[in-house]
Chain A
Amino acid sequence: MIRGARPEVPAFQEVYETLYPTIYRIAFRICGNQGAAEDLCQEAFIKLFERDQSLPDLEQTKYWLIRVVRNIALNYEKRKARERKAYERLEQINPRYAESGEAQLLRQEDAGFIQWALDRLPFSLRVVIVLKEYGGMNYREIGSLLGLSAGNVKVRVFRARKSLAGIIKEEAKHVP
């Protein structure tokens, strides 16, 4: 990959410094885990580094990186779902592993509560609402990035909000 050869094509170092904060924020909100977000970012930037053809500008590079992060996050999500199932089985066998009311209260007050609620959304809704709220993208941009129509993005954003409101309210009911 030859970057910076044409003046309008930014060098890898510039892309890295400029886009890392955005890509990290989106990765963290999609996967809900700092370590995993760091891994996702590393993988995405390595792919960019090894890419044969340079992308025309920072905006296109950002969309490309988000798409890569989204694809890697989907694999991470599947692995996490398998682990969650195993954990739930463990809870049935040994109730000591079940979350206490106190832990629920702590979670409600914790700054990461929204992230906890986001993690409960289906992946397809979570990605869309994360790109909307933390990626600062409009429906058309999200649609072109994910291969969806703007109308479909609109409905998904709405469903994500509705589900999040439901999750938050439901959680509030359980807090003693």
Chain B
Amino acid sequence: MCPEEHILSAYLDGEVEPPWRPRIEDHLRDCASCRQALEEMQWVRERMRAQEGPDHRPALERFRTELSLRRGLTWPARLGFWRRKVSIPLPVAVLAAALIFLLGASLLLLQSRMEFRRMSIKREPSGVTEVHVAAPIEDLEVLLKALDKEMPTREIVITLPKDSRFLIMGEPKILRAADFIRSQ
């Protein structure tokens, strides 16, 4: 026997007592006319909820002003964006801080490593192998440190572009190779 339609409406609202829910669900599986009645009510509900009402804010502001003028009501100052407070649960805050730290650390690590792009390998008949590499250079100091770290035992020739223009800064200093190595 079909349940009364107002029971189906209550079922739609989740207002049917728990023991009755599975029985209604069983019935709905077998009864096309009850399914149709439920779908119609659902359709009405969805149409109602889909249509947004008018914006309340202009009315709220108008009456707020009137309350201030006529009733002398003062309103707490609204905080600007940068002074607004937010509350975050502690575990989320800890996780966010850890993520920011990890992100910062990995960015620093990436910056400190210079990227070398291999261009070509040439083997000379004498047995010497020439590896031509190219790297973007922003700071000569960084390049030298990176080369020292990557290829400390190889002989390195740096070819600068022909149109490079250097300025002489300070006094030149001549050192013996042994002193230079020691000072390192």
Contact = CB atoms under 8 A, between A and B. Distances in A.
A139 B43 contact: no
Nearest to B37: A162
B149 interface: no
A15 B49 CA distance: 25
Given A34-B54, A132-B13, A164-B44, A24 B59 contact: yes
A29 B53 contact: yes
B75 interface: yes
Interface residues of A, number: 40
Contacts of B40: 165
Given A13-B76, A115-B51, A24 B60 contact: yes
Contact of A114 (B47, B54, B59, B75): B47
Given A28-B53, A158-B6, A161-B45, A38 B13 contact: no
Interface of B: 5-6, 8-10, 13, 15, 40-41, 43-45, 47-49, 51-54, 56, 59-60, 62-64, 66-67, 71, 73, 75-76
Interface of A: 12-13, 16-17, 20-21, 24-25, 28-29, 34, 37-38, 41-42, 45, 49, 111-115, 118, 129, 132-134, 138-139, 150, 154-155, 157-159, 161-162, 164-165, 168
